[in-house]
Amino acid sequence: MKATFAAGCFWHVEDLLSKTKGVKSTQVGYIGGQLLNPTYEEVCTDKTGHAEAVEVEYNPDEISYETLLDVFWNNHNPTTLNRQGHDVGIQYRSVIFYHNDEQKEIAEKSKQKLDKSGQYDRPVVTEIVSTPIFYKAEEYHQKYFEKHGFS
C-alpha cells in the first residue's frame, strides 16, 4: 500500500519513515503544484505550488496507516503554516495526501483527535487532500541522509 506525506524538508521525513518497521520503500518528490515535472530549483522558488513529500510503500500486515500517521504527527510541527523550523515556503507545508477514502477518513479523525488533545496552543493546519501526481525528485535527493552519513 502507499501513503504520502509532506512535513517540511523531505530528507528528514524520508530518513525517519525509511527506518520505520513495516515500511518497504520510500522515495522523495514534489506534489501538489501546477508545474509539470518540476525540478528542485523550480520548487525552491516557492512559485510552483509543490510540496516536498515522501511517498511510502508499506506492508499493512506489519504497520497500520494509523501508525504511519502517528510517526508523521510526532515528527514535525503541524501548526506552522508553510514552514518547519528554519525552512520557510509553501514547499515545506504539512500535508497528508490520501490514496483512498479509507485513508481520508482515518487522516481526518486523526487530525481532529490531535487538534482536540491540547498538545498544541495553536490549531493544526495540516492539509488533507487527494493524492495528485507525484514527481520523483532528482536522484541526489533520494536517501540523502544515508548517502551523506547523517543517518
> CA angle at residue 32 from 27 to 35, to 5 degrees?
100
Catalytic residue among 3, 7, 9, 114: 9
CB 140 within 8 A of CB 40: no
Task: Mention every residue, 6+ apart, whose C-beta is less than 8 A from residue 43.
Answer: 30, 33, 50, 52, 91
- From CA 140, how far away is CA 23, in angstroms rounded? 21
Is 9 in the active site?
A: yes
3-state helix/strand/coil string of 32-89: CCCCCCCCHHHHCCCCCCCEEEEEEEECCCCCCHHHHHHHHHCCCCCCCCCEECCEEC
Tell me which residues are annotated as active site: 9
